[in-house]
Amino acid sequence: MKLNLLLAALLLTSCFSAVKAQKLLGISNGNFAGTNALYMNPAFIVDSRLGFNLNLGTLDIYASNNYLRYNSPNSIFKTLKNEEEFTADYLEEKLNGKPKLITTSLDLRGPSIMFTMSPRHSFAITTRVKGAVQMNNVSESSARLIKTGGDEDDLLNQINDDNKFSLNGNVNAELGFSYGRVLYDAGTRVLKSGITLKRVTGIYSSYFINEGSRFQVSDRTDANGTYQQIQVDNINARYGYLNEDLLENIESSDVVNWLTKGDAPGKGWGLDLGLSYEYRPDIESYKYTVNSMQYLDHRKSKYKYRVGVALMDVGGVKYKSQYARSLDIAKQNVILDSRDFEEAEDTDEYSQIFNEAFGIRESDIKREFRSGLPTALNISFDYKLKGRLYVNTTLIQSLRKKEAVAMRQFSMLAVTPRLEMKALELAFPISLQNNYSVFAVGAMAKLGPFFIGSDNISGALNIGKPYGANVYAGVSLLSLHREKRKEEKIKKVKKVKNSTPVTPSTTPPAGNQ
């Protein structure tokens, strides 16, 4: 058994292989984003250009890391589509002595609705299912051990003691209720606020937090052949997961009960809080008068610049059931033999082998644990260049500690120029992702209700040697505000028709000529 498989078992990666999500940079900061803007800042739905928005569905698929670059003649998506054999030769290492991370995610934003109750109040109801697997703060030596499987001679018989890291995997469903309102309106200066309260249903979760260990890997040979052995001098770690019986015995009725009756494996709450400030120096040009009453045109973007600050995904999910397992480990002088894992097939079998090796009793295992949401601080600056041209700068800073049992929104900085119209929108985000360690270029196009884009298009199109790939697409129905000046035009037309005198014709009929 290769060392990378043994370490995969040690990290409990076998317990979950589903795919935290990106922010859809191309569309989420736009004035026609609708419910998709809520995931950047809940205050963005206030005084929106839209009177109504129905998001039928948005799908976002993302995978990235800062260690291995993809070097192959075919794109990642083409390789997966054609079911081609994926070999280690396609992966090129980045060795710079810095910690490594990897994240894969799938985000499905389901049917959601947003409507403007008045120019000062907006409301939204959103649904969402998201899953992710993340590995963070992995030392370079540990990353190389996992990739090479211990086949490199310089990695064998070496003491490894710089290997703190965290592994988290989660699948959650969300039902969100958002409300936003104008707090202060001085004409040229407007302050808005927004809040989203989310009921979070935990469908699956697992984690392994290595707080410090000292071990070495070596090859051994006996009468039965060659195998690998890990000698653990000491280890301090925490792990937890849901028993695979949960997913093996699941039925459609169970899922319905999880979402409607609260019978899910995990239950929790989430909270988003946001503020948005707009500077509108030309506000008078957006006003019009109807029957001596003055109104503001809410169908147009009036700001020269907009600043948004939001605290996102505060909260967590508590797992407490017969399927939950969690344990803290503090042991010394343990030997793991790769042959012991050859017949193991699921998480419980791997876990049982570990428990026996580390002398863990059944009574030591808890039946509950808590997994946090990816708490982050979002700051954005949107500047109107001219007409329908904008440029946006977004900073996302993760607020979760490296050793936390929680998903993470990895920190990033992005600059996104865009052309914005109701029926057509184009955007081209340029970003530093993965804790500012990976450069990426993206693109987004929206035509009518349909949009498609990527925050890392180089990976999707196999340009250069990408560290990952991303693609998203969706369908969103938009409706602008109904303005009173439309009624004014109708009244004027009717008035002209009714007041125009009928002038008798002086030209004889054609038949009399």
pLDDT tens-place string over residues 427-473:
999 999 999 988 999 999 999 999 999 998 877 676 778 888 899 99
Q: Mean pLDDT across the stretch 256-266?
A: 73
pLDDT for 108: 94
Contact 23, 444 (CB under 8 A): no
Is residue 510 situated within a structural domain?
no
With 80 as the cut, is the pLDDT of residue 495 above it? no
pLDDT higher than 70, residue 492 = no
At residue 229, the pLDDT reads: 81
Q: What's the pLDDT band for 6 if we cut at 50, 70, 90?
A: very low
Mean pLDDT to the nearest integer, 294-311: 91
Residue 306 has pLDDT above 80, yes or no: yes
The residue that leads in pLDDT, 467 or 349, is: 467
**Whether pLDDT at 4 is above 60:** no
The token pair that represents 401 in the structure block: 């500690």
| Cα atoms in the 13 Å half-sphere on the side-chain side of 272 | 33
| pTM, 2 dp | 0.83
Residue 191 in this model has a pLDDT that exceeds 90: yes
Q: How many domains does the chain have?
A: 1
Per-residue pLDDT reduced to its tens digit, 84-120: 666 777 788 888 888 899 999 999 999 999 998 888 8
| Distance of alpha carbon 33 from alpha carbon 471, whole angstroms | 17
pLDDT > 50? residue 14 = no
Separation CA 15–CA 354 (nearest Å): 14
507 in a structural domain:
no
What is the mean predicted confidence (pLDDT) over 355-365?
85
* 22 in a structural domain: yes
Give CA–CA dist 104/284, Å, rounded.
Answer: 48
Report which of 227, 250, 245, 210 is spatially closest to residue 346, judged by C-alpha positions: 245
Question: Is the CB of residue 207 less than 8 Å from the CB of residue 173?
Answer: no
Helix (H, G, I), strand (E, B) or coil at 253: helix
| Cβ pair 313, 269 in contact under 8 A | no
Of 6-10, 281-285, 476-480, 502-506, which one has max mean pLDDT? 281-285
Determine the average pLDDT of the residues in 127-147.
87
3-state secondary structure string across 186-231: CCCEEEEEEEEEEEEEEEEEEEEEEEEEEEEEEEEEECCEEEEEEE
- Average pLDDT value for residue range 383-410: 93
* Percent of the chain residues topping a pLDDT of 90: 44
pLDDT at 485: 52
Q: Determine the pLDDT at residue 397.
A: 96
The runs of H, that is alpha helices, within 185-284 are: 245-248, 252-260
68-72, 158-162, 429-433, 490-494: which has the minimum mean pLDDT?
Answer: 490-494
Which pLDDT score is estimated for 483?
A: 60
The pLDDT tens digits of the residues spanning 122-134 come to 999 999 999 999 9
Among the ranges given (140-149, 392-401, 446-455), the one the predictor scored with the smallest mean pLDDT: 140-149
- Distance (Å, whole) CA 269 – CA 340: 41
Q: Which domain CATH number covers 175?
A: 2.40.160
Residue given tokens 């602008």 in the structure block: 480
* pLDDT band at residue 59 using 50, 70 and 90 as cut-offs: very high
Average pLDDT over residues 345-365: 82
* 511 assigned to some structural domain: no
Per the domain annotation, does 461 fall within a domain?
yes
Q: Please tell me the predicted confidence (pLDDT) of residue 218.
A: 82
Least confident range of 35-49, 158-172, 424-438 = 158-172
In a domain, 78, yes or no: yes
The owner of tokens 């500047």 is 383
**Segment 314-343, tens digit of pLDDT:** 999 999 988 899 989 888 888 888 788 877
Q: Tokens for 62?
A: 């993302």
Q: What is the mean pLDDT of residues 270-295?
A: 91
What per-residue confidence (pLDDT) applies to 376?
96
The two tokens of residue 260 are 């409607």
Residue-wise pLDDT tens digits, 404-421: 999 999 999 999 999 998
User: Does 121 score more than 70 pLDDT?
Assistant: yes
505 lies in a domain?
A: no
Do the Cβ atoms of 407 and 371 come closer than 8 Å? yes
Q: What is the mean pLDDT of residues 349-353?
A: 81
pLDDT of 213 higher than 90: no
Task: With a cut of 70, say whether residue 199 has pLDDT above it.
Answer: yes
Mean pLDDT value across residues 273-302: 89
pLDDT of residue 81: 67
In a domain? residue 490 = yes
Q: What is the pLDDT of residue 15?
A: 35
Q: Do 453 and 427 touch, CB atoms closer than 8 A?
A: yes
Give residue 368's pLDDT: 93
Print the domain residue range for 273: 3-500
